[in-house]
Amino acid sequence: MLQSVQIQRSKLVLVVDDQELNRDVLGMILEDNYRVLYAENGQEAMEIIRARSSELSAVLLDLMMPVMNGYEVLEAVKSDEDLKHLPIIVLTADKSAELKALQMGAVDFVTKPFDIPEVILTRVARIIELSEGRQLISAAEYDRLSMLYTRNFFFEYANRLHLYHPDQKLDAIVLDIEMFHSINALNGREFGDDVLRTIGDEIRGFLQEVFGIASRVEADRFDIYCEHQEDYRALLQRFQDRLNRYSSKVSIHLRMGVAQWQEGAEPVLLFDRARAASGMVRGDFQNPLMIYDEEMRKRELLNQRLLNDLRDAIKEKQFKVYYQPKYDVQREPPRLSSAEALIRWQHPELGLISPGVFIPLFEGNGLISMVDSFVWDEAARQIAAWHRKYGVKLPVSVNLSRADVFDPTLVERLTRLVHDNGLEYQDIKLEVTESAYTDNATQLLDVIHTLREIGFQIEMDDFGSGYSSLNMLSSMPIDVLKMDMKFVRNIDKSEIDLRLVKLILDIAKYLKLNVVAEGVETEGQLALLRDSGCDLVQGFFFSRPLPAEEFEKLLVREIEVERRLAKNDAV
Ligand code: C2E
Ligand code: MG
Ligand code: MG
């Protein structure tokens, strides 16, 4: 104990302040732990610094002083190769001065009137420790385009604010430009640069009004770490308004994610959250602001958990394939014509989880192929098993995800599946969601062409939920159109919806495509669809997706109905 105090005491600190009172207060605080030298202005300070630079551990520097002020001292020290590593802590009452001093190379600041002694002592000790480890904050670096900090400097600085000024509650804001790459591609880099400059400009303007720092951390992503704002919508609007000057040429949309200060949460975590929040509103021009909240936090924890649990889940067979029937409604009574395989996750602790929760998550990182393979295997095995048992071969469609389409072994995977189970190609149908068609057109089209040539039937899933238009249909390699539920939902209430459905059915007929209506829940919907010429219907009206054992009962009932009807026909 005694030894450590002695070591501390041997360290030399310089206090520079023109006010005697300030020097006295700091002296009282520091003298128990350090040897302290004093200077009344910048000039005196520079003399001491030059003479004793090798002994000095830190300088506490006032900014406003006669003869030579603190900024000049900073400049003199930081431009001198031999002195520039000397840690300088500025003493100030003015927030904008803090920033300027830090930009000029100060390592930290102490606010006046002085904090409680413990705080100052800790801060000085920390700074000395850091400087001895040579982990000093680097000199401020700017991105030349936006004139905001570079990413590295920004995070170094943000961490420092978080560490030494926990009392300053700062929020993390992420600002993104929608489709920046196309703005660049369509209007040229010069134009793109100008947009980035304009945003940088507005952010700097904002930071003159409130305490904070900012960076262009990626091509089109800006991070701002600043005092809490009451109205983030207004702030986003402020930045958006600046961009409206380009509106005669191109409309540029910003989106914003915010993560608010939280006790102990480091800047990196806050910015991760803000980025996640911003990601949630990607492409949502109506509602381009998202504030990270408790719900998102829970959602993220859940996602993390599901990602962790995935491998075990496959090993322990927690995934279950459910089957939902599709009925041919142009026959009377409607007949079972095929089924769709839909995955469920029977989680040991979380219960039954629907694919809407985990499919998008696994799509994001390629794990989906594992899940899909499992479903395909299971479905193929099941078709073969029912065939052996009842002598009927009920076709089952399986869902393909985007990642499957990019998988170079897809065709091989699927053909092997058919052969290994003694099936034919038409027994397994492939559902590909509409948005996949618009996303990666050429590669997808190549793969789909190949699959169709082999003999697989392709169903376009969720038709009408994305952006493809009716006239694109004629050039698409598909056999069946699955009309998105949103068309069906209101056909018994809205004349327009009904007309739309009829139009889709007409075009499909013209293109010789079968149509499946999804999400049919009522008898009324069913009647309208049947009378409009829709071939196949899937939905809760007939049955919810069922576990294999229960679907099997439904299958047996249908086989009996079929038999009875055949017998009647024969009579
Ligand atoms: P989808 O392929 O469009 O499947 C239809 C969804 O509509 C299913 O939701 C089904 O349960 C639901 N549904 C069926 N009839 C009705 C109805 O009458 N009313 C309402 N409100 N809903 C109905 P589910 O099973 O939750 O699946 C959601 C989506 O997850 C699927 O949409 C599909 O895109 C995806 N998915 C499911 N299983 C798999 C899989 O094995 N692999 C991949 N890649 N995606 C899957
Ligand atoms: Mg589907
Ligand atoms: Mg669908």
pLDDT (0 to 100) of residue 451: 95
- E strand residue ranges, 288-390: 289-291, 319-328, 335-347, 351-353
- Residue 289 vs residues 255, 489, 530: alpha-carbon distances, Å: 6, 29, 43
pLDDT digits (tens, 9 = 90+) for 300-318: 889 889 999 998 998 899 9
Q: Whose CA is nearest to atom 37 of ligand 1?
A: 342
pLDDT digits (tens, 9 = 90+) for 95-128: 777 778 877 878 877 877 776 777 788 778 877 8
Q: Whose CA is nearest to atom 8 of ligand 1?
A: 342
Residue 180 corresponds to which tokens in the numbers above? 């920046």
Q: Please give the Cα distance from 73 to 88 (Å, whole number).
A: 10
Residue 526 pLDDT level (bands cut at 50, 70, 90) = very high
- Mean pLDDT of the 243-264 span: 92
- Mean pLDDT of the 379-400 span: 97
Which burial class, exposed, middle or buried, applies to 102 when counting CB atoms under 10 A from its CB (0-12, 13-18, 19+)?
buried
Q: Whose CA is nearest to atom 45 of ligand 1?
A: 399
pLDDT above 70 for 135 = no
pLDDT (0 to 100) of residue 191: 94
Residue 410 corresponds to which tokens in the numbers above? 């897809």
Q: Please give the Cα distance from 71 to 145 (Å, whole number).
A: 26
Give φ, ψ of 111 to 5 degrees.
Answer: -90, 145
pLDDT above 50 for 33 = yes
Closest ligand 1 atom number to CA of residue 321: 41
Mutate to test the pocket of ligand 1, among 342, 375, 483, 546 (most ligand atoms within 8 A of CB): 342
Mean pLDDT of the chain: 89
Q: Please give the Cα distance from 465 to 486 (Å, whole number).
A: 8
pLDDT (0 to 100) of residue 469: 63
pLDDT (0 to 100) of residue 3: 38
Most confident of 296-300, 363-367, 440-444: 296-300
pLDDT above 60 for 8 = no
| pTM exceeds 0.85, yes or no | no
Q: Containing H/E element for 542?
A: none
Residues with CB under 6 A from ligand 1: 324, 342-343, 354-356, 359, 368, 372, 375, 399, 401, 431, 433, 461-462, 518-521, 538-540, 545
pLDDT (0 to 100) of residue 6: 41
Q: Please give the Cα distance from 569 to 504 (Å, whole number).
A: 34
Q: Whose CA is nearest to atom 22 of ligand 1?
A: 519
Q: Ligand 1 centre and the CA of 362: distance in Å?
A: 16
CA atoms within 13 Å, Cβ hemisphere of 467: 5
**Terminal Cα-to-Cα distance of the chain (whole angstroms):** 107
pLDDT (0 to 100) of residue 2: 36
Is there a contact between 370 and 314 (Cβ–Cβ < 8 Å)?
yes
pLDDT digits (tens, 9 = 90+) for 419-435: 999 999 999 999 998 87
Residue 322 corresponds to which tokens in the numbers above? 């459910």
pLDDT (0 to 100) of residue 102: 77
pLDDT above 70 coverage of the chain, percent: 94
pLDDT (0 to 100) of residue 468: 60
Q: Ligand 2 centre and the CA of 484: distance in Å?
A: 10
Angle of helix 294-315 versus helix 355-363 axis, rounded to 10: 80
Q: Please give the Cα distance from 173 to 339 (Å, whole number).
A: 47
- Residue 411 vs residues 370, 417, 439, 447: alpha-carbon distances, Å: 16, 10, 20, 8
pLDDT (0 to 100) of residue 538: 98
Q: Please give the Cα distance from 240 to 17 (Å, whole number).
A: 45
Q: Ligand 3 centre and the CA of 46: distance in Å?
A: 75
Integer-rounded Cα Rg, in Å, for the chain is 34
Peptide bond into 166 cis (omega under 30): no
- Residue 467 vs residues 3, 332, 364, 471: alpha-carbon distances, Å: 74, 35, 21, 12
Mutate to test the pocket of ligand 1, among 518, 540, 541, 551 (most ligand atoms within 8 A of CB): 518
Residue 139 pLDDT level (bands cut at 50, 70, 90) = low
Closest ligand 1 atom number to CA of residue 401: 44
Is there a contact between 58 and 83 (Cβ–Cβ < 8 Å)?
no
Peptide bond into 113 cis (omega under 30): yes
Q: Ligand 2 centre and the CA of 79: distance in Å?
A: 66
- E strand residue ranges, 146-189: 170-177
Which burial class, exposed, middle or buried, applies to 59 when counting CB atoms under 10 A from its CB (0-12, 13-18, 19+)?
buried
Give φ, ψ of 219 to 5 degrees.
Answer: -40, -55
Question: What is the pairing mode between strands 396-400 and 351-353?
Answer: unpaired
Closest ligand 1 atom number to CA of residue 540: 18
Give the CA diameter of the chain: 118
Closest ligand 1 atom number to CA of residue 368: 44
Give φ, ψ of 414 to 5 degrees.
Answer: -75, -40
The one-letter code for the residue type at 27 is G
Mutate to test the pocket of ligand 1, among 399, 410, 486, 544 (most ligand atoms within 8 A of CB): 399
pLDDT above 90 for 285 = no
Q: Ligand 1 centre and the CA of 342: distance in Å?
A: 6
Residue 471 pLDDT level (bands cut at 50, 70, 90) = low
**Which is more confidently placed, 103 or 467?**
103
